[in-house]
Amino acid sequence: MLTLYVKTGCPFCHKVLDAGEELGITFDEKNITDDTIAAELVARGGKRQVPYLVDTDRTVEMYESDDIVAYLQAHYS
Ligand SMILES: N[C@@H](CCC(=O)N[C@@H](CS)C(=O)NCC(=O)O)C(=O)O
């Protein structure tokens, strides 16, 4: 399962969402405008920054939109 932490209006998040759409990927989106989700992200990744990808199938987690897009293209094309 692919979970993507995002924030409403975040252009870096949209870049990842657009790439995912091109690849036919459906994310479980979690929006950090909800304080509970924001706290969950910080506990998980160590900082409040989106986008943040969690790939439970490969036990991979990462920040940085360019890295996430490259990862998705490499593993989900
Ligand atoms: N270099 C990062 C930049 C990410 C970034 O600046 N994200 C902003 C939102 S657009 C963020 O997480 N800000 C913290 C916040 O909104 O709480 C990337 O490409 O993913």
Averaged in consecutive runs of 10 residues, what is the pLDDT profile of the chain (77 residues)?
A: 98 98 97 98 98 95 98 97
> How many angstroms separate the CA atoms of 75 and 25, rounded?
11
What's the domain range around 55?
2-76
CATH at 62: 3.40.30.10
Does the CB atom of residue 54 touch ligand 1 within 6 A? no
Cβ–ligand 1 distance for 65 under 6 Å, the answer yes
| Ligand 1 centre distance from Cα of residue 1 (Å) | 23
Nearest residue to 65 (alpha-carbon basis) of 77, 75, 73: 73
State how many domains the chain has: 1
Report pTM: 0.97
Q: In Å, what is the CA distance from 24 to each residue of 36, 60, 70?
A: 29, 19, 15
Q: CA–CA separation, 2 vs 31, rounded Å?
A: 14
* Contact 64 CB / ligand 1 (< 6 Å): yes
